[in-house]
């Protein structure tokens, strides 16, 4: 993508209401734009990051045997009344009546809808177990949206639901999803703390949260200063209390929840009569689990963990582009021609490239490259061309490399840990 053909409205200053580092940098980098309180537009760079995160999630969910579908965002209010959660949602619920006076809820989550579907189709033991998932927009009328895209009224979630014939099978599904989440976060380069948690309004028994330590989170995690004990702050005492495992001191950190997994049991299958016929002809309720990932929060958390005072430093799997190509003195024909040729070679080789072809000063291009934060910067200059070299800058480490023009594609592939194209 050529910068001159893209939409990248970088900013030098942002509103003081942007408290969180991720909020400030995503606004400055032209990744997001605020439309209203708790409602954001994702501009092309931000949308590419969302897509990359979703691609990693889909890959691991599919590898775990989960099946993707898409459920409606409009839910008949009767479903929520049937589960007993209509009143529980309270003022967070966004509901309305249509022209036929039918009441609908804009889906804040999808347990009711997926259980209604399971009751229709998963009614024999041969159909179980199943794990179904979707990546979809959710709606909650948050009274106090905060920290940019960390807490919003409209957000994207990957929600998965397991359906099992017995407890042992549910335990296996839960473990499968737990391990899939660990792989997702590892591939994305996001450090998380999995902690035992309170199921809350979701109901059920077992529950784990995946937390990212951040001053802009709204949760707390407790960890021991001696052993590896860690738990949700909701399930423990206060700062300085004794660790229940070894007797050490508990220390608390502010954290942001990016994922949550639950063993729901029959919490939803009972009110929706989602049962199956066993091999001996008996009727039993299906056991459920649910598994959520906040896509927008993962994006924000990546920025919180991967940035410096100049801008973002995206991990390769999430970065909007793998390479940022720029020419110093773009108006010089020799330099411009070399950059154009390299741009064609890189794109033909399958790399994703953001080519800064603007007639701007080198300093402006370097500043914007650091702000946007693509992993590898390739700098074309007449000085280096005279030596048959390109300059590579690694955004994460700041390291600069001088690479011969003939070896640049091979070196970039090696730096990105990509297999050779045969």
Tens of pLDDT, residue by residue, the chain (422 residues):
999 999 999 999 998 889 999 999 999 999 999 999 999 999 999 999 999 999 999 999 999 999 999 999 999 999 999 999 999 999 999 999 999 999 999 999 999 999 999 999 999 999 999 999 999 999 999 999 999 999 999 999 999 999 999 999 999 999 999 999 999 999 999 999 999 887 655 555 679 999 999 999 889 999 998 998 898 888 777 888 999 889 999 999 999 999 999 999 999 999 999 999 999 999 999 999 999 999 999 999 999 999 999 999 999 999 999 999 999 987 899 999 999 999 999 999 999 999 999 999 999 999 999 999 999 999 999 999 999 999 999 999 999 999 999 999 999 999 998 544 33
Beta-bridge partners for 200: none
- Angle formed at CA 98 by CA 97 and CA 102, multiple of 5 degrees: 65
- Angle formed at CA 33 by CA 31 and CA 34, multiple of 5 degrees: 145
161 phi/psi in degrees, rounded to 5? -140, 130
CB count within 10 Å of CB 101 equals 6
Beta-bridge partners for 211: 193, 257
| CATH numbers and ranges of domains, the chain | 3-308 (3.30.930.10), 321-415 (3.40.50.800)
Burial of 264 per CB tally in 10 Å (0-12, 13-18, 19+)? buried
Given a contact cutoff of 8 angstroms between Cβ atoms, the answer to whether 165 and 128 are in contact is: yes
> Treating both helix axes as pointing N-terminal to C-terminal, what angle do 333-348 and 408-415 enclose, rounded to 10 degrees?
50
Burial of 304 per CB tally in 10 Å (0-12, 13-18, 19+)? buried
């Amino acid at each position: 993508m050529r910068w001159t053909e893209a939409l990248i409205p970088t900013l030098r200053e942002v509103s003081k209401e942007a408290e969180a580092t991720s909020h400030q940098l995503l606004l400055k980098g032209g990744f997001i734009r605020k439309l209203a309180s708790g409602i954001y537009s994702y501009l092309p760079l931000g949308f590419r990051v969302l897509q990359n995160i979703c691609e990693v999630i889909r890959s691991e969910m599919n590898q775990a045997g989960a099946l993707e579908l898409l459920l409606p965002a409009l839910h008949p209010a009767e479903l929520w009344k049937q589960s007993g959660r209509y009143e529980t949602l309270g003022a967070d619920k966004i509901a309305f009546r249509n022209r036929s006076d039918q009441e609908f809820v804009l889906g804040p989550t999808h347990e009711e809808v997926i259980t209604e579907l399971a009751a229709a189709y998963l009614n024999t033991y041969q159909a179980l177990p199943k794990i179904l998932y979707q990546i979809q927009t959710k709606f909650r009328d948050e009274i106090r949206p905060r920290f940019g895209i960390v807490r919003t009224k409209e957000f994207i979630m990957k929600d998965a639901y397991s359906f099992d014939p017995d407890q042992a099978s549910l335990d296996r599904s839960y473990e499968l999803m737990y391990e899939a989440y660990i792989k997702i976060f590892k591939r994305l380069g996001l450090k998380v703390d999995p902690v035992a948690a309170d199921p809350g309004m979701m109901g059920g028994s077992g529950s784990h949260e995946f937390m990212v330590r951040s001053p802009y989170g709204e949760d707390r995690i407790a960890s021991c200063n001696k052993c590896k004990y860690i738990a949700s702050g909701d399930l423990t005492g206060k700062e300085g209390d004794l660790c229940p495992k070894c007797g050490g001191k508990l220390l608390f950190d502010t954290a942001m929840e990016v994922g949550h997994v639950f063993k729901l049991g029959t919490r939803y299958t009972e009110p929706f009569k989602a049962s199956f016929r066993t091999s001996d002809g008996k009727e039993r309720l299906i056991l459920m689990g649910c598994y959520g990932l906040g896509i927008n929060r993962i994006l924000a958390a990546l920025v919180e963990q991967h940035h410096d005072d100049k801008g973002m430093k995206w991990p390769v799997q999430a970065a909007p582009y793998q390479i940022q190509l720029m020419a110093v003195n773009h108006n010089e024909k020799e330099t411009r021609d070399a950059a154009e040729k390299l741009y064609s070679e890189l794109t033909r080789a399958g790399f994703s490239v953001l080519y800064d072809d603007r007639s701007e000063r080198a300093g402006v291009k370097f500043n914007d490259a650091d702000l946007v934060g693509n992993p590898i910067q390739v700098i074309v200059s007449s000085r280096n061309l005279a030596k048959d070299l390109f300059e590579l800058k690694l955004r994460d480490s700041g390291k600069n490399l001088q690479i011969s023009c003939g070896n640049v594609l091979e070196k970039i592939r090696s730096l990105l840990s990509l297999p050779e194209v045969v």
